[in-house]
Amino acid sequence: MKVLIRAAAAVLALLVLALAGLVAMVLADADAEATEVTGGGGAGGLRGVPEEFRAWILRAAEECEEPELTPALLAAQIYQESGFKTSREEATSYAGAEGPAHFMPGTWATWGRDADGNGQASPWDIGDAVTAQGRMMCSLVKKAKGSGYPGDVRALALAGYNAGWGRVEQFGGVPPKSFANGQTYNYVRSILATMKRFEGPGLLQVKGSGSGADALRKAAGRLGTPYAYGGGGPQGPSRGFCSGGGGYRGGTCVADDTVGFDCSSLVQYAYWPDLKLPRTAAAQYGATSDRAVSRQNLKPGDLLFWSHGDSGAIYHVALYAGDGNVLHAPRTGKTVELVPLSTAMPDSDYHGATRP
């Protein structure tokens, strides 16, 4: 089932102008839409990845005929290899592997292609790297299926990617802990354990243009990312910290071990760099309060605020996602999620909305 999410203001405007015989004008000015994609969290779903990786991961998985090679598996593998980093400083391994998918030069010569059409095949180009990773993993999954070796074919393929298929043949399966200080063994276990984090439907496929739609689209790419008090910023998720009562769960500080966003850093990230909003929810309200929007006229990408009293006590911000839903980073122990506006935070604390 697909649910069309359209801003309430556009719907009301469409009805009014249709009565006046001006429907064509409305259609020419259609607001952003967001489609909720259902279908569960297994084979085709993907969440919690940077927007710039998302389309390439989905494409790489789709191009492989082996159902074991899911988008979530590819995402977890990139996360293990580079943490979705793309700079030469951060995405070069100690062994000299390069790019977000960590290709050695010799291996890149076999699998690298100019997937993004920019005139060169480079392990530093996200599209080139991810599609090469997908082709190599697809080939390894096929080898694993035909090998007769025991165990999960995904584990065998991952071991081949990390250590070379020759090592899988040498050990008749995933190399043991004793091989290379457990590097390949732990590599495989870590990726298979991390997959769950990236599984799930891409809950929002945002259509339309404009700053609000663009911000919502960017934030939607982070669905499933952990909440980290004090974490996150314009460049993406980062490790949080504990302060006052924030960042604790069950009396234990968890934020300093969690890489993610809090509510305001997610909003800041979504609009950056086109609009450089300040860091905190209260400051974001202060920066946009002159463009207030009523609850009846919300559009995708509008900012919604909750307060313990007046504007000086604002404690939470979220992005309006259309059809009465919001996208936000709620609290410690949760992840970036899509929920009804009425249940996102106590309705009595709702302070108002603004349009950045």
Domain holding 270: CATH number? 3.90.1720.10
16/114 same-domain check = no
pLDDT in tens, 138-159: 999 999 999 999 989 999 999 9
Domain count, the chain: 3
Whether residue 313 lies inside any domain: the answer is: yes
pLDDT confidence band for 208 (50 / 70 / 90): confident
116/228 same-domain check = no
Whether residue 203 lies inside any domain: the answer is: no
More confident residue, 10 or 157: 157
Long-range contacts of 185-192 (CB under 8 A, 24+ apart): 187/80, 187/158, 187/159, 187/162, 188/155, 188/158, 188/159, 188/162, 190/80, 191/73, 191/76, 191/77, 191/80, 191/158, 192/76, 192/152, 192/154, 192/155, 192/158
303/219 same-domain check = yes
Domain range for 71: 51-198
Residue of 33, 36, 66, 81 marked catalytic = 81
Last residue of a domain, one of 140, 167, 198: 198
pLDDT at 53: 92
Res. 14: pLDDT tops 50: no
Whether residue 70 lies inside any domain: the answer is: yes
pLDDT confidence band for 204 (50 / 70 / 90): low
81: annotated active-site residue: yes
Cα gap 267→303, rounded to integer Å: 8
What is the reported pTM? Answer: 0.55
Q: Residue 267, class by beta-carbon neighbours within 10 Å (0-12 exposed, 13-18 middle, 19+ buried)?
A: buried
Whether residue 8 lies inside any domain: the answer is: yes
**Please, what is the average pLDDT of the chain?**
87
Cβ distance 80 to 193 under 8 Å?
no
pLDDT in tens, 40-74: 333 456 888 888 998 899 899 989 999 899 999 99
pLDDT confidence band for 201 (50 / 70 / 90): low
163/250 same-domain check = no
64/191 same-domain check = yes
219/180 same-domain check = no
* CA quadruple 125, 127, 128, 131: dihedral sign: positive
253/302 same-domain check = yes
107/147 same-domain check = yes
Whether residue 269 lies inside any domain: the answer is: yes
143/239 same-domain check = no
215/336 same-domain check = yes
Whether residue 231 lies inside any domain: the answer is: yes
Cα gap 277→274, rounded to integer Å: 9
Look-up: residue for tokens 């279908």? 39
17/68 same-domain check = no
181/292 same-domain check = no
Percent of the chain with pLDDT over 90: 73
Cα gap 302→321, rounded to integer Å: 8
CATH code, 166: 1.10.530.10
